[in-house]
Structure 1
Amino acid sequence: MILSIILLIVALLSAVAIVREIKRKNFFAVGFAGLSFVVFGWFSIATIISIITTGGGAPVAH
C-alpha cells in the first residue's frame, strides 16, 4: 500500500509540473512531465486495484 501511495504522490507532483511548465512554455519538460504522470499514475492505480482485488499485503510466514 505504501508503494501505491508513493507512486500516486509522484504522479500528482508530475501533474503540477505539467501546469508549471506549460505556463513557462517549456514543452520539452511538459513532455517528460506528461510521460511521468501517465506512467506513475498507471502504476499507482494498477497497484491499488491489485491490492483491493487480491487482498493485498505481503504473505505472512507461519
Structure 2
Amino acid sequence: MFLSIILLIVALISAVAIIREVRRKNFFAVGFAGISFVVFGWFSIATIISILTTGGGAPTGH
C-alpha cells in the first residue's frame, strides 16, 4: 500500500508540473510531465486495485 501512495503522490506532483509549465509555455517539459503523470497514475491505480482485489501486492501466480 505504501508503494501505491508514493506513486500517487508523484502523479499529483506531475499534474502540478503540467499546469506550471503550461503557464511558462515550456511544452517540452509539459510532455515529460504528462508522460510521468500517465505512467505513475496508471501504476498507482493498478496497484491500489490489485491490493483491494487480491488482498496483497502483486499476484503470485499460484
Which contiguous aligned blocks of 4+ residues in structure 1 show a shift greater than 4 angstroms? none
Deviations 1:10-59 (A, max 9, x none): 000000000000000000000000000000000000000000000125xx
SS of residue in 2 equivalent to 1:56: coil
1:19 is aligned to 19
1:31 is aligned to 31
1:40 is aligned to 40
State the TM-score, normalizing by the size of structure 1.
Answer: 0.90
CA RMSD of aligned residues (A): 1.3
Q: Tell me which of the two structures has the higher relative contact order, counting C-alpha pairs closer than 8 angstroms and 6 or more residues apart.
A: 1
- For residues 1-12 of structure 1, the aligned pairs below 5 Å read 1-12=1-12
Report the structure number with the largest CA radius of gyration. Answer: 1
CA distance in 1 between counterparts of 2:11 and 2:26 reads 19
Total equivalences in the alignment: 58
